[in-house]
């Protein structure tokens, strides 16, 4: 009998986690963080360097980031992610944060390092990326990280609907597309934080109707050294209108 494709197919093996030497932070990195009001101890900085080294090493085996220069990774990945930390200052220990479209782990992994008292759930629909996130969290000893290899819209319709204090996202899509994925995950009164570029105002204008449907109000836009953070407040669940089909 001629073997069929189904009979000869073998499951794809997981890509092993690389173990390179951690990257050292630039000399001015701690000073730049201080301008944000963020302070990290040596252990946290070491974990950041470990994470960035693993991210760049794994990027040679699968597509995780367009950034390949270590110095640029410290700025555009680690520092950019940590611009969110001041906006999480009011979260108490044990608060829950969800990161949508986590990809290579920015901003979620740096946030988990900077705020080990928070519980972070990382969502990415790509199995290989979710596997990398799981492995890197384990390698770094981040017990406050959980990874979901699912689509955000499905997670938001099930058991994780309305359970998070904050939802974050970076470089996933425009606000009009992101809001319906993120808002259902957040409890009433919670916030949605999107790291955006200079076209944030344009995207907000474009998303006016979608934000109204999701009962999200634009609270503020925060300018940072690396971009802009759009802050949305999620309204009461009983008032949140279903999205039009």
Q: Can you read off the two tokens belonging to residue 205?
A: 């204008």
CATH code of residue 160: 3.40.50.150
Cα-to-chain-centroid distance, residue 54: 17
The pLDDT of residue 65 is above 60: yes
Assigned domain for 223 exists: yes
Give one DSSP letter per residue of 28-54, joined into a string.
Answer: THHHHHHHHT----HHHHHHHHHHHHH
How many DSSP H helices and E strands does the chain contain?
11, 7
Q: Can you read off the two tokens belonging to residue 82?
A: 């940590």
Quote the number of domains for the chain. Answer: 1
By CB atoms closer than 10 A (0-12, 13-18, 19+), residue 26 is middle
Assigned domain for 24 exists: no
pLDDT value of residue 8: 35
d(CA 111, CA 215) in angstroms, rounded, equals: 27
pLDDT band at 238 (very low <50, low <70, confident <90, very high): low
Q: Is 145 helix (H, G, I), strand (E, B) or coil?
A: strand
Which residue(s) pair with 94 in the sheet? Answer: none
Assigned domain for 2 exists: no
Assigned domain for 131 exists: yes
d(CA 126, CA 227) in angstroms, rounded, equals: 26
Assigned domain for 15 exists: no
Assigned domain for 164 exists: yes
Provide the mean pLDDT of the chain: 91
**pLDDT per position as a tens digit, 90-111:** 999 999 999 999 999 999 999 9
d(CA 34, CA 24) in angstroms, rounded, equals: 18
Pairing relationship of beta strands 186-196 and 227-234 according to DSSP bridges: antiparallel
**pLDDT per position as a tens digit, 117-175:** 999 999 999 999 999 999 999 999 999 999 999 988 888 777 899 999 999 999 899 99
pTM: 0.90
For residues 168 and 98, the answer to whether their CB atoms sit within 8 Å is yes
DSSP 90: T
Assigned domain for 7 exists: no
By residue range, what is the domain housing residue 49?
31-239
pLDDT value of residue 5: 38
Assigned domain for 138 exists: yes
């Amino acid at each position: 009998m001629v073997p069929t494709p189904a009979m000869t197919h073998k499951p794809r093996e997981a890509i092993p986690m690389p173990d390179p030497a951690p990257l050292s932070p630039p000399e001015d990195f701690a000073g730049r963080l201080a301008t944000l009001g963020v302070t990290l101890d040596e252990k946290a900085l070491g974990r950041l360097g470990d994470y960035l080294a693993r991210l760049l090493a794994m990027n040679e085996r699968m597509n995780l980031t367009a950034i390949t220069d270590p110095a640029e990774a410290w700025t555009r990945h680690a520092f950019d992610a940590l611009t969110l930390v001041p906006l999480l200052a009011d979260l108490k220990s044990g608060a829950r944060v969800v990161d949508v479209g986590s990809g290579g782990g920015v901003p979620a992994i740096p946030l988990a390092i900077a705020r080990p008292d928070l519980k972070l759930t990382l969502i990415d629909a790509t199995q290989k990326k979710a596997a990398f996130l799981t492995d890197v969290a384990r390698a770094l000893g981040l017990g406050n990280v959980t990874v979901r290899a699912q689509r955000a819209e499905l997670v938001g319709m099930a058991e994780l609907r309305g359970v998070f204090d904050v939802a974050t996202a970076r470089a996933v899509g425009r606000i009009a597309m992101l809001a319906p994925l993120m808002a259902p995950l957040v409890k009433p009164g919670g916030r949605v934080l999107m790291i955006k570029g200079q076209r944030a105002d344009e995207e907000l204008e474009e998303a006016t109707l979608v934000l109204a449907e999701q009962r999200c109000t634009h609270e503020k836009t925060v300018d940072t050294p690396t971009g802009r953070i759009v802050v949305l407040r999620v309204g009461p669940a009983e008032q949140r209108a279903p999205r039009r089909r």
